[in-house]
Amino acid sequence: MKPEPLFYHTRRLTVGSRVAISQPPDSFISYLRAEGVRYILLGSVQAREPGLLADLIAAHCESLDPIAFFPGRTYLFEFRQAVDLDAAGTGCDAIRAYRVANQDRDFQARER
Domain range annotation of the chain: 3-104
User: Within 10 Å of residue 59's Cβ, how many Cβ atoms?
Assistant: 14
SS3 sequence of 43-100: CCCCCCHHHHHHHHHHCCHHHEEEEEEECCCEEEEEECCCCCHHHCHHHHHHHHHHHH
pLDDT value for 69 = 92
Higher local confidence (pLDDT), 110 or 9: 9
| Averaged pLDDT, 85-99 | 77
| Averaged pLDDT, 13-28 | 86
Average pLDDT value over all residues in the chain: 82
| Averaged pLDDT, 2-12 | 73
